[in-house]
Amino acid sequence: MSFANADHKIRFCHTVKENFLTREIWRTSGNGFSAGIKTCGGGVPICQEPVSSSFWFGDVEMVGSTEQARHWYAEELRFTAKVGSRAVIDAFATVPRELFFGPGPWRILSPMAASDYWTTEDANPRHLYHDVLVAIDEQRRLNNGQPSLWARLYDQLELTRGLHIVHIGAGSGYYSAILAEIVGPGGHVVAIEIDPELATRARLNLAAAWPHATVIVGNGFAFRPDRPADVIVVNAGVNNISMAWLDALAAENGRVFVPLTTANGGVVP
């Protein structure tokens, strides 16, 4: 199929800026925080033990399990990224981010100070459940992308169960896992990574929980899947669109997300 006669949707990336939103979602009875219950969407409890207000500021040891932190993180993404898809939020609440970056402490990059990495205080996985980038290879400035940005984009792409998705630029596999969680066992994710070492890491990370995600070492710009893709997500900046991607899209409602960049690395608005 050619670009000229196909009804394709192309979504171009631009910088998404959201105001940080602080929300108090405690239910109290009688004595302030003493009976606080923190819940995520759908009434799923994520912190059912009494905690002090210092939990919010990180000046004392955090209370609660890693799983609780993961649910809190997903719920916060729902608001900061204005995500309407329950499937997207559930995926972020399910996939363990720490699985994809090796043992901590980890090097972190804040979107508020994008030039300076810093190190988490210790190897507690809960440090990863914030809207921050995590270094995969700091020397190359290769990072796991900002969660709120990708949550927002996945929501806009209207991803559903059963889709066939090609994910170009898989890194160590975290967002490939998020996509695989969204499409479910009846769907399929083909994750393309040009770096053989990273592809091996992604394959190992995805093998147990997401067998419907396949990792391929290769040049994503020229990659052609063996069957049409419902969605192609490009997780790397490019300065033009590959015709191979357009030809690989399903004829009905095929769509591709491409973060176009300028020669100096900026993102095209």
φ, ψ dihedrals at 188, nearest 5°:
-150, 135
Between 172 and 29, where is the model more confident? 172
Q: Is residue 242 part of a domain?
A: yes
Residue 27 lies in a domain: no
What proportion of the chain, given as a percentage, has pLDDT over 70?
74
* Whole-angstrom distance, CA of residue 208 vs CA of residue 218: 22
Residues 6+ away with beta carbon under 8 Å from 107: 117, 118, 119, 134, 135, 138
pLDDT digits 0-9 by tens, 118-162: 999 999 999 999 999 999 999 999 999 999 999 999 999 999 999
The single residue listed with the structure tokens 């059912």 is 48
Residue 38: band (very low, low, confident or very high) from pLDDT cuts 50, 70, 90: very low
Averaged over 230-256, what is the pLDDT?
A: 92
* Residue the block writes with tokens 């596999």: 173
Query: Is there a domain that residue 20 lies in?
Result: no
Question: Does residue 97 lie within any of the structural domains?
Answer: no
**Virtual torsion, Cα 139, 141, 145, 146, nearest 10 deg:** 110
- Domain hosting 221: range is 9-15+153-258
Q: Could you tell me the pLDDT band of residue 25, with boundaries at 50, 70 and 90? A: very low
Asked if residue 171 belongs to a domain, the reply is yes
Q: From CA 98, how far away is CA 143, in angstroms rounded?
A: 14
Q: What is the share, in percent, of the chain residues with pLDDT greater than 90?
A: 67
Lowest model confidence (mean pLDDT) among 25-29, 78-82, 233-237 = 25-29
In a domain, 205, yes or no: yes
Could you give the number of structural domains in the chain?
1
pTM comes to 0.76
User: Does 190 fall in a domain?
Assistant: yes
Domain CATH for 252 = 3.40.50.150
Residue 30 banded pLDDT, cuts 50, 70, 90: very low
Assigned domain for 21 exists: no
Q: What is the pLDDT of residue 57?
A: 31
Report the pLDDT averaged over residues 63-79. 92
Q: What is the pLDDT of residue 4?
A: 38
Torsion of CA 9, 15, 16, 22, to 10 degrees: 160
pLDDT score for 39:
34
